[in-house]
Amino acid sequence: LANLVGLKAEENGVELMFQIPAELPTALVGDPLRLGQILTNLGNNAVKFTDAGGEIVVAIAVRERTDHEAVLHFSVRDTGIGMQPEQQQKLFQSFSQADSSTTRRYGGTGLGLAISKKLTAMMDGDIWVESEAGRGSVFHFTARFGLQQGQISKRRPIAADLGALPVLVVDDNASSREILATMLASFGFNVDQAGSGASALALLEQADHGHPYQLVLMDWKMPGLDGIETTRAIQRNGLIEHLPTVIMVTAYGREDARQAAGGVDINAYLTKPVTPSSLLDAVLLAMGQEAAAGSGRQTREDDTANAIAALRGAHVLLVEDNDMNQELALELLTTNGIRAAVANNGAEALEWLKREAFDGVLMDCQMPVMDGFEATRRIRQQDRFKALPILAMTANAMAGDREKVLAAGMNEHIAKPINVNEMFVTMAKWITPSAPPPAATPSTDDEKAPLLELPGIDTDAGLAVSQGRYALYRRLLLKFRASEVDFAERFRKAQTDPDPQAAERCAHTLKGMAANIGAQGIRAKAQRLEAACHDRAADAQLDELLQQTQVELQLVLQGLARLEGEAASADVSGALDHRQLRDLMTRLRVLLEDDDTDATDLVTALLERPGMQSHRTPLKALARAVGDYDFPTALDALARLEADLGRADSAASSRTMVS
């Protein structure tokens, strides 16, 4: 919800907040896809009808609770245009908005509310609205969930780490201030509030000689002194001897805030909407308590390890048209004991299913020839595939995509960029291997070689997507540069394509690939471009958004050119170690004959071996074939490389005899 609604709220200058009580049960049994659809529909409507400077608060409360189930009360409050009583009576009906002038001004048909009403009823709940014209609206709904039985995960021992930490929350928005203060108080902290930068300075000066604040949560955009100016004033104020740790809270993008904060010591950044977990993680990190956060990560890692163990031996069909996404997904699957076949579009997926049996399907949604929605509908029309697990894999940024995922017959959604933990846990929920797991094989991944500083790329995020595999991540980075150098030209061409979705799909692909490598600036710009294509924006607006995307893209491509140059300048001109080379090529042949994607790592090792520079032509052909997972062609290329090396050895021997 933070991603789907948060970006639109940010673009419209509207502040989005989450109000989540500490006592809220989290180990629930229910339908997350339908719940997410209702919240997304209501959140998007709130953004649509709220002008810049307004606010939206998504709140949850426990209405009823027993030992086995709970009824939760959700609300989405906005400060938008509101409605008259007679207008409210027309809501929750298909193709109905408050009145026709609303449709003309804001767009839409009201279908989302009708769908939300149906989904709420399916969760044994109700939905209603409270509204006043000119003052805003509150949409309420309830839903019934089961409570997971068994041992409940313990909360992290916060108080033992930080005690009654004195904290000051600085925010001009009263709702945001109160939400943050309530969350912090639930952690056992002592919390005060300030509504402006000037008030914060006064409170800090006053507290400095008694009980100084150790932590300040500082909103960035405030009237008068903004958060960065206030922080700078704190750090230059001679009356404040005990300088607090500062976390900058922003609704306008972490990177924008970081760039604006030049010369100011800020310990961490926190993006709105804030959740208790994201707030706690930021506080622990800023206060040097990373180890305390490790218990939560360890639990997630244990869950992932269990999921991978349960999936070993599974045979899945990966339906994906983008070769970079194919490489990433195949590597993650095959290195964790999951066999995978690849279809480039929905039509190919149908052909695969005619020939082979699969335990599950990972289905991209936006593809040429036949998209994932149509392919799933055709699969479900066949009785033998009624129970086949089909999991959608897409960035899923458009509000209607979740409805389409459910309507097409997919079981659940795996979001892109891939969160490795969530992907395997979700797969294990639906997919059961029909064959025994293969014997474990040692990983051939390389050592954790340091990467260059790459502008515009969060390498930690990119490595997380690649499951910490440095060789894979470097390949994805270089493949991104090779494939996206001509993005603007391809987008322009797509705009004139007879396929009306071509341009939108082009921007969608860039967004997903950027997210996979951690290029968050490109991802955000491409997402705006994709949304504009989806909304059939004017050419002038598309040109402007394309230019903004290109600015971010060029920054990243220039950094990746340095990475490519680093790889090319590696020492490959020395003497060949023929014994090690023979061993390496024998292992490579075995992997290629088994269609094993670990071959990509051995090709990388070949490229980096001293003395291989003179054999670059057959070596590049081999690398290209392996990179495309064309293993028969790769075996032919390997034979040509072996012949080339043999001729070089013979020539060297002849020169030695003559001398």
Mean pLDDT for 186-196 is: 93
C-alpha triplet 379, 382, 383: angle, nearest 5°:
130
The residue with greater pLDDT, 414 or 68, is: 68
For 355-370, what is each residue's pLDDT tens digit? 999 999 999 988 889 9
- Note down the domain range covering 10: 1-147
pLDDT at residue 455 tops 50: yes
**Domain contains 548:** yes
Residue 317 domain flag? yes
Indicate if 6 and 142 belong to the same structural domain. yes
pLDDT for 97 equals 47
Question: DSSP 3-state assignment of 124?
Answer: coil
pTM to 2 decimals?
Answer: 0.46
Are residue 515 and residue 400 in the same domain, yes or no?
no
Final residue before a domain boundary, out of 568, 586, 613: 568
Q: Are residues 236 and 274 in the same domain?
A: yes
Alpha-carbon distance of 589 to 595, in angstroms, equals 10
pLDDT at 303: 66
Domains held by the chain: number: 5
Residue type (1 letter), 278: S
CATH number for the domain including 141?
3.30.565.10
* Cα–Cα dist 397/416, whole Å: 10
- pLDDT, mean of residues 185-196: 92
Residue where a domain stops, chosen among 529, 550, 568: 568
pLDDT at 214 (0 to 100): 92
- In tens, the pLDDT along 581-593 reads 777 788 888 888 8
pLDDT value at residue 249 = 92
Average pLDDT, stretch 409-437?
83
Would you say residue 80 lies in a domain?
yes
Is pLDDT above 50 for 574?
no
Is the Cα dihedral 39, 13, 203, 238 positive or negative?
Answer: positive
User: Do residues 163 and 208 share a domain?
Assistant: yes
The whole-number pLDDT of residue 219 equals 94
Lowest mean pLDDT among 120-129, 300-309, 462-471, 522-531: 300-309
Res 107 pLDDT > 80: no
Tens digits of residue pLDDT in 26-62? 788 888 878 988 998 899 889 989 998 899 999 999 9
Q: What is the pLDDT of residue 576?
A: 56
Give the number of C-alpha atoms closer than 13 A to the C-alpha of residue 513, restricted to the C-beta side: 27
130, 165: one domain: no
In this predicted structure, the answer to whether residue 569 has a pLDDT above a threshold of 70 is no
Domain boundary residue among 266, 293, 320? 293
Residue 328 CA to residue 311 CA, distance in Å, equals 18
The pLDDT of 508-522, averaged and rounded, is: 88
Give the CA dihedral 325, 328, 332, 338, nearest 10 degrees: 50
pLDDT at 585: 81
235 plus 175 within the same structural domain: yes
Under a CB-based contact definition with an 8 Å cutoff, are residues 270 and 278 in contact?
Answer: yes
For 80-97, what is each residue's pLDDT tens digit?
A: 999 888 888 877 765 444
The CA distances from residue 345 to 418, 507, 533, in Å, are 19, 18, 22
On whether both 33 and 116 belong to a single domain, the answer is yes
- 413 vs 483: CA distance, rounded Å: 27
pLDDT range class, residue 63, cuts 50, 70, 90: very high
Pairing label, strands 127-132, 136-147: antiparallel
